[in-house]
Amino acid sequence: MHLLYDGHSLNLNIVNFIILFLGILLLGSPAKYIASLNEGIKTISGIILQYPFYAGIMAIMTGSGLVNTIAKGFVHFSSAESLPFWGLISSFFINYFAPSAGGHWVVQGPFMIDAAKELHSSLSQTSMSVMLGSAWNDLVQPFWLLLALAISKLKLKDVMGYTVVMMFWVGIVYIAAVLVMGYLF
């Protein structure tokens, strides 16, 4: 979405920047801004503060040409059968920088689809592997769990051991499934 004003465009990244830094300016310092966030939204303020930065990371990756460079790298060392596996593994790591499913797809989707087309790999298997890698990493970064933690009055440290153990088991299952899917179907 671009709103034009005197020849300049206003997009989501600029709106995020304005909101973040306007809040800091109005409150006088970053420390006061964080304190106000903590008071207003005690359990998720740290997460809310991170999202404008994730948006910036995604914009840099997509706008810098890094997407095309990465796609060429995947084409170089992958085959049509192994691309879904590499999509799963790379998605697991990219999810650290872009943990939102939609934002994650904005970052990884273009270069995985380009690589799949060039290698004549299955678009559906490649897309599914990206989704699975993101979901797999969500066991290490369980943002989806924050509401349940707030309701139950538990802390993330109370359940993190369980989610990390599950991450290993789920990883084994996902890797096996993606390899079988890539080589047999």
pLDDT tens digits, 143-170:
778 778 888 888 888 998 999 999 999 9
Condensed to tens digits (0 to 9), the pLDDT of residues 130-142 reads 999 999 999 988 7
Question: What pLDDT, on a 0 to 100 scale, did the predictor assign at position 126?
Answer: 94
Tell me how far apart the alpha carbons of residues 140 and 91 are, in angstroms, rounded to a whole number.
13
| Contact (CB, 8 A) for 115 and 121 | yes
pLDDT band at 72 (very low <50, low <70, confident <90, very high): confident
Is residue 3 within 8 Å of 12, Cβ to Cβ? Answer: no
